[in-house]
């Protein structure tokens, strides 16, 4: 996984207590937000257009999923426990195929994850996904070239990070904490890959259909991915300290530092 592979669990199903009915409706999502998010620390749900009845069921499902996802990561990767943040979970009740987004928000385009308002300062973005589609439909991903190859193509055109801009964004509250040089490069890498229509059209990728009732885990800051079709998936995000990894040298932080020959923290 640290080398940029996707761990696939064909029989690891998350089965909500409410198998049908209110949880499986695209009307639950606030269309502007695209996902419903859940903070396991506070229990707060965001982005849901739900009445009290749906909200309490959503809460129950997300809470159970977030706890199960944490347990799976701790069981599979005990070494991460010392540097793990159990961040937000999300529920994705909208069909991806055919939906129109602005180019930078369009996750149907190949990208590595980098969050504009949440700098990681080098920490890894580890995500567990589970396809809970009740009609058995798969979730389709495209998985692209290794991170190093992506970075080699785009790095020369990304420019140098600007620390004054990062301070300003943090000062006005546009980012949760200051973007490091690493965060700035990763955002530019995300944006440049999505904006480059020639790259999107020509770069090789593998298509994989994750069946309903399956789960998968990967470092989405490293795996070049696009989610092109599917409806009703759950996702749990973790942040992992680079030092907690078995091979910190495989992290995008260390890879970009080697390539740019400078410290990016
Ligand atoms: Fe993504």
User: Cα separation of 222 and 182, whole Å?
Assistant: 13
Q: How far is the centre of ligand 1, averaged over its atoms, from the C-alpha of 66 (Å)?
A: 19
Residue 1 included in any domain: no
Q: 238, 73 in Cβ contact below 8 A?
A: yes
Helices in 1-81 by DSSP H: which ranges? 52-76
- Averaged pLDDT in 10-residue chunks for the chain of 265 residues: 97 82 85 87 92 89 97 98 98 92 94 94 97 96 98 91 74 82 95 97 98 98 98 98 98 97 92
Q: According to the model, what pLDDT value does residue 18 have?
A: 67
CA atoms within 13 A on the CB side of 37: 11
Name which of 175, 182, 191, 167 is nearest 125 in CA terms. 182
Q: How far is the centre of ligand 1, averaged over its atoms, from the C-alpha of 100 (Å)?
A: 16
Q: According to the model, what pLDDT value does residue 53 have?
A: 83
Residues 6+ away with beta carbon under 8 Å from 11: 213, 214
Helix, strand or coil, per DSSP, at residue 97:
coil
pTM here? 0.94
Residue 255 included in any domain: yes
Q: How far is the centre of ligand 1, averaged over its atoms, from the C-alpha of 105 (Å)?
A: 10
Q: 214, 233 in Cβ contact below 8 A?
A: no
Residue 127 included in any domain: yes
Helices (H) and strands (E) in the chain, counts: 6, 10
Residue 173 included in any domain: yes
Q: How many domains does the chain have?
A: 1
Q: According to the model, what pLDDT value does residue 20 have?
A: 59
Residues 6+ away with beta carbon under 8 Å from 117: 174, 175, 176
Residue 244 included in any domain: yes
Q: How far is the centre of ligand 1, averaged over its atoms, from the C-alpha of 34 (Å)?
A: 13
Task: Report CA 240 to chain centroid distance, whole Å.
Answer: 13
Q: How far is the centre of ligand 1, averaged over its atoms, from the C-alpha of 142 (Å)?
A: 11
Residue 51 included in any domain: yes
Residue 265 included in any domain: no
User: Cα separation of 63 and 89, whole Å?
Assistant: 9
Six token digits for residue 177: 């904490």
Q: How far is the centre of ligand 1, averaged over its atoms, from the C-alpha of 63 (Å)?
A: 22
Q: According to the model, what pLDDT value does residue 30 have?
A: 80
Q: How far is the centre of ligand 1, averaged over its atoms, from the C-alpha of 114 (Å)?
A: 8
Q: How far is the centre of ligand 1, averaged over its atoms, from the C-alpha of 195 (Å)?
A: 15
Residue 39 included in any domain: yes
Name which of 238, 236, 232 is nearest 15 in CA terms. 232
Q: How far is the centre of ligand 1, averaged over its atoms, from the C-alpha of 106 (Å)?
A: 9
Q: How far is the centre of ligand 1, averaged over its atoms, from the C-alpha of 65 (Å)?
A: 19
Q: How far is the centre of ligand 1, averaged over its atoms, from the C-alpha of 118 (Å)?
A: 14
Beta strands in 50-181 (DSSP E): 84-92, 124-131, 139-143
Q: How far is the centre of ligand 1, averaged over its atoms, from the C-alpha of 52 (Å)?
A: 30
Q: According to the model, what pLDDT value does residue 105 have?
A: 92
Q: Which domain holds residue 69?
A: 7-260
Q: How far is the centre of ligand 1, averaged over its atoms, from the C-alpha of 80 (Å)?
A: 21
Q: How far is the centre of ligand 1, averaged over its atoms, from the C-alpha of 75 (Å)?
A: 24
Q: How far is the centre of ligand 1, averaged over its atoms, from the C-alpha of 138 (Å)?
A: 17
């Amino acid at each position: 996984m640290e080398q940029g592979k996707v761990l696939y669990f064909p029989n690891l199903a998350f089965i909500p207590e409410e198998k049908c009915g209110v949880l499986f409706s695209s009307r639950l999502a606030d269309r502007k937000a695209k996902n419903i998010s859940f903070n396991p620390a506070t229990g707060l749900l965001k982005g849901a257009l739900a009445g009290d009845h749906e909200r309490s069921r959503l809460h129950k499902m997300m809470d159970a999923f977030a706890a199960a996802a944490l347990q799976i990561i701790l069981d599979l990767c005990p070494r991460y426990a010392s540097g793990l943040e159990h961040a937000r979970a999300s529920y994705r009740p909208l069909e991806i195929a055919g939906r129109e987004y602005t180019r930078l928000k369009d996750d149907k385009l190949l990208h590595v994850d980098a969050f504009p308002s949440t700098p990681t300062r080098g920490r890894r973005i580890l995500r567990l996904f589970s396809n809970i589609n009740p009609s058995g439909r798969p979730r389709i991903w495209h998985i692209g070239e290794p991170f190093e190859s992506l970075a080699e193509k785009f790095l020369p055109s990304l420019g140098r990070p600007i620390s004054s801009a990062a301070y300003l964004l943090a000062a006005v509250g546009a980012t949760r904490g200051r973007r490091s040089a690493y965060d700035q490069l990763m955002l530019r890498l995300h944006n440049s890959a999505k904006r480059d229509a020639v790259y999107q059209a020509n770069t090789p990728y593998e298509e994989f259909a994750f069946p309903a009732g399956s789960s998968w885990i990967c470092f989405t800051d490293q795996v070049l991915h696009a989610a092109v079709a599917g409806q009703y998936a759950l996702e749990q995000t973790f942040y992992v300290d680079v030092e907690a990894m078995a091979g910190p040298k495989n992290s995008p932080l260390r890879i970009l530092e080697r390539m740019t020959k400078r410290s990016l923290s």
